[in-house]
Amino acid sequence: EDKVVQSPLSLVVHEGDTVTLNCSYEVTNFRSLLWYKQEKKAPTFLFMLTSSGIEKKSGRLSSILDKKELFSILNITATQTGDSAVYLCAVEPTIQGAQKLVFGQGTRLTINP
């Protein structure tokens, strides 16, 4: 069974801190790994990673994938209260055919002022 596990489940830090969120996966096939931010309802897309070792960056957020060790990390530097959200990791476990994402349980990040 395809599985995605995120850690920690919950994290509370102070504004300005740097955080690292982890995502490990076990899937029979692997096509891509995606990170989403879920603030109240809709998961909003952050990154899609398909190749090992290539960092994707958007402002203070960055992410990297290790296909050998089957994990990804999401880094957020100089955190702000607006970064408070649940961060979801999802894997696309299909090479061909329809996309169907397998999600982790999420990391709830709380940034205190």
- Given the rule CB under 8 A, which residues bind other proteins? 31-32, 34, 36, 41-45, 48, 88, 90, 92, 97-106
Closer residue to other proteins, CB minimum distance, 40 or 68: 40
Structure tokens at 58: 């958007």
Structure tokens at 105: 């349980």
| Minimum gap (Å) between residue 60 Cβ and other proteins | 20
Closer residue to other proteins, CB minimum distance, 17 or 103: 103
According to the 3-state scheme, what is the secondary structure of the chain?
A: CCEEEEECCEEEEECCCCEEEEEEEECCCCCEEEEEEECCCCEEEEEEECCCCCCEEECCEEEEEECCCCEEEEEECCCCHHHCEEEEEEEECCCCCCCCCEECCCEEEEEEC
Report the alpha-carbon distance of residue 11 to residue 102 in Å, rounded.
22
| Minimum gap (Å) between residue 103 Cβ and other proteins | 4
Closer residue to other proteins, CB minimum distance, 34 or 65: 34
| Minimum gap (Å) between residue 100 Cβ and other proteins | 4
Closer residue to other proteins, CB minimum distance, 60 or 100: 100
| Minimum gap (Å) between residue 97 Cβ and other proteins | 6
